[in-house]
Structure 1
Amino acid sequence: MSGTSADGIDAALVEFDTAGQCRLVHGIHKAWDDGVRRQLLEIGQARAEPGLDALGTLDVRVAEAFAAATLSLLDAAAVPASAVTAIGSHGQTIRHRPAGACGDGRHPFTLQLGDGNIIAERTGIATVADFRRRDVAAGGQGAPLLPALHAALLAAPGEDRAVLNLGGIANLTLLPGAGEGTAVRGFDTGPANALLDAWCERHTGHRYDDGGRWAAGGTLDDTLLQRLLAEPWFALPPPRSTGREQFHLDWVHARLAGTERARDVQATLLELTALTVAQALQREQPGTSRVLVCGGGVHNPVLMARLAALLPGTPVESTAGHGLDPDYIEAMGFAWLARRTLARLPGNLPAVTGAAGPRVLGVVYPAAS
């Protein structure tokens, strides 16, 4: 898995029991090559339009990196490739346009790099990739795709829960405690680490705000916050999803007066993340009893504390306390989806994505015989 932040590749070795429950055997994180990362970020926020040769080359380089991460994971876990049934590869999203390139609903698409042929060939393991486009073809958002996994692993009868993934983009999974027959819902709430990391790197040279300390030293700029919140996307009802092509540094700069201190902007972007999550949760599931957090943002205590303050009386806690490593849930999810693909079972939830119905997701690239 490599998400919107493009901070690196998370690789998870996952074991399933006969009932379909899964556990993390081992996980590793591999940083992107600096040149590849720079290209991915520039393309992802529409600051570069590569030619076909450059795009084709990048597709192969991303796949090579995924394959190398897989082999490093297996080496670290001392597990042979022959013991692995399949790889589930999310790919690297470079453009996500579920409303079409012009926003008019015509010709919607989502595009991920990382050719499954390359991964299967380099690892010798069958690979399932391209999970999002079938849902988009069926009229869905193509995201988020992991609420079904969250429901399987983190739902609790009698307790309305929310799972919050604080990746490059923040998204919520709503898990009603009423149980069977109650619809699980999920949607993106807006930017998270994609903006926080990018602004921090631009102004400090560090790729992320370690511990949220830089933001903590800034002052909230309420005037800027209101300009950011005026973005029409925030008013869209679920199902909805977004990406770096919507929320990027140029989007921030277009809303600055030009006199703001960089550190105050960081503090304001952190507030934007926390507030849009809290507002969405209070609007869509006001009776939430517990928020379980995963993704890189779980390691930002300033962001976690702000979320808790905006959701008084509702525990905001890491999924680690519920037996799931918050750094690898996303990668585990694509192993889970790959398993469903091989079993010809649907991987999407139409109530989440808005697709016309359940669909088997992904394309299978067999291992060489």
Structure 2
Amino acid sequence: MNLMLSRLSDMSQKESRLIIGLMSGTSLDGLDLALCKIKGSGFNTSMELMQFESVPYPSAFIEDIRSVFSKRLVDLEKLTLLNAHIADIHAEIILACLEKWNIPPSEIDCIASHGQTIYHAPKRLHQQKYYPNATLQIGDGDHISVKTGIITLSDFRQKHIAAGGEGAPLALYGDVILFSSSTENRVLLNIGGIANFTFLPSDKSHARIISTDAGPGNTLIDALANKYFDVPYDDNGKFARGGKVDENLLKILLSHPFFTQDYPKTTGPELFNLLYFNEAVKAAKAESLSSPDLLATTTEFTARAISKALNEISSLPFTLYLSGGGSRNSYLVERLQQLLPDSAVMLTEALGINPDAKEAILFALLANETLCGSAIDTGAGPVTTMGKISLPI
């Protein structure tokens, strides 16, 4: 048997596995690395976060990615080059973190790499009759595996689509494994570039579990903060706090058909971007609004879209647990609490999970299921395992 295939077999039989989960989201701010010690599989999984690092990307690297990100027309050579380049950069970050943590690569069982989303195209968005749901993440797993010497699982979203899903949200599987409760209804809300959540009823009824995108998260807030205030994000919503919400503009922003489509559903910056926002401003005749007013209205757009979705998916009381960059925006969190007065709103830290690390942890869990678990039936998504396996040699 091939030595690496033998290692895979041995890994599946181990009492526990050390897996590095990687996540780089649509905010393009950097790479999150979660070193997880995972025992068991499926609903018998236990996970311990051993190390976590969030490594910011250099501005030149971000601009490189932006040159092909969420665009219908791109330089094909640049896209091809970035597929390898992103993987090489991620591999360098992994090795640097392992050195910092004083852990030799040989002790890591595998890497679970989400890759960098470049374009998300569910059929509900592209509307082309003869084409299926599609999504593209680059940062090739073979490059990461060879450069680090560590078995790598990647490209998780393709299997989800092949099995009948839209490629997102994949948080469903980790949320069900780690956060199901028999004592409270829970919503796990991740506010990244796009906001997505999983509703977990306390009766654990598979028929009532829902995992879906709600609409924009930080994507428009960050874009306006950069455009009008020359900062990468609105720290604690300080600029939005200084503005006033324009209800007419807000109404137009919320009028897109996405918000009336059935759940579950997915979206991305391909829809909710500056072009969408600028067209709404023009339709609302709101060109004279101040920069703080525009940012206040955009932040309210995110809060209203999330609260609207949560109110529609459940009439039951629930506790809302937040993760992702938007969970650090205190103004946005305050608005969510005000719009959801019957719900307790807190960070996933209350459940023992670092809210910044949650998405990276998820991919470590998905890799663990592929290696030694089975297809998880959540009742709310395709019953499948995910991740292509790349061997170092």
The aligned counterpart of 1:49 is 73
Contact 1:45–1:246 at 8 Å: present in 2 too? no
Contact 1:27–1:73 at 8 Å: present in 2 too? no
Decide whether aligned partners of structure 1 residues 311 and 268 sit closer, same or farther in structure 2, where only a CA change above 3 A counts.
same
| Residue 163 of structure 2 corresponds to residue 138 of structure 1 | yes
- What secondary structure, in the 3-state scheme, does the structure 1 residue paired with 2:145 have? helix
The aligned counterpart of 1:39 is 64
Q: 2:108 aligns with which of 77, 84, 94?
A: 84
| In structure 1, C-alpha distance between the alignment counterparts of 2:107 and 2:301, rounded to whole Å | 45
Contact 1:200–1:209 at 8 Å: present in 2 too? yes
| Residue 210 of structure 2 corresponds to residue 185 of structure 1 | yes
RMSD: 1.7
Larger mean Cα displacement after TM superposition, 322-331 or 178-187? 178-187
| In structure 1, C-alpha distance between the alignment counterparts of 2:309 and 2:245, rounded to whole Å | 21
The aligned counterpart of 2:268 is 243
Contact 2:222–2:232 at 8 Å: present in 1 too? yes
The aligned counterpart of 1:213 is 238
Q: 2:190 aligns with which of 165, 186, 189?
A: 165
Identical-residue share of aligned pairs (%): 34
Q: 2:51 aligns with which of 10, 23, 26?
A: 26
- What secondary structure, in the 3-state scheme, does the structure 2 residue paired with 1:223 have? helix
The aligned counterpart of 1:300 is 329
Contact 1:158–1:179 at 8 Å: present in 2 too? no
Contact 1:140–1:350 at 8 Å: present in 2 too? no
Letter paired with 1:366:
L
The aligned counterpart of 1:313 is 342
| In structure 2, C-alpha distance between the alignment counterparts of 1:55 and 1:282, rounded to whole Å | 40
Q: 1:324 aligns with which of 328, 353, 370?
A: 353
Flag as ranges the 4+ runs of structure 1 deviating above 6 A: none
Contact 1:117–1:365 at 8 Å: present in 2 too? yes
Please list, as runs of the form range in 1=range in 2, the aligned pairs for 1:119-134 lying within 5 A after superposition.
Answer: 119-134=144-159
Q: Deviations over 1:38-58 (max 9, x none)?
A: 232343232x73322211111
Structure 1: gaps (5+ residues): none
Larger mean Cα displacement after TM superposition, 147-156 or 8-17? 147-156
The aligned counterpart of 1:118 is 143
Larger mean Cα displacement after TM superposition, 66-75 or 333-342? 66-75
- What secondary structure, in the 3-state scheme, does the structure 2 residue paired with 1:254 have? helix
Q: 1:73 aligns with which of 73, 93, 97?
A: 97
Shift of 1:242: 0.9
- What secondary structure, in the 3-state scheme, does the structure 1 residue paired with 2:123 have? coil
Larger radius of gyration: 2
The aligned counterpart of 2:367 is 338
Decide whether aligned partners of structure 1 residues 278 and 31 sit closer, same or farther in structure 2, where only a CA change above 3 A counts.
same
Contact 1:219–1:263 at 8 Å: present in 2 too? yes
- What secondary structure, in the 3-state scheme, does the structure 1 residue paired with 2:114 have? coil
Letter paired with 2:310:
L
How many residue pairs align between the two structures? 363
Contact 2:135–2:167 at 8 Å: present in 1 too? yes
The aligned counterpart of 1:12 is 34
Structure 2: gaps (5+ residues): 1-22
Shift of 1:346: 2.5
Decide whether aligned partners of structure 1 residues 240 and 105 sit closer, same or farther in structure 2, where only a CA change above 3 A counts.
farther
In the superposition, the TM-score normalised over structure 1's length comes to: 0.94
Contact 1:12–1:73 at 8 Å: present in 2 too? no
Contact 1:98–1:109 at 8 Å: present in 2 too? yes
Contact 1:162–1:288 at 8 Å: present in 2 too? no
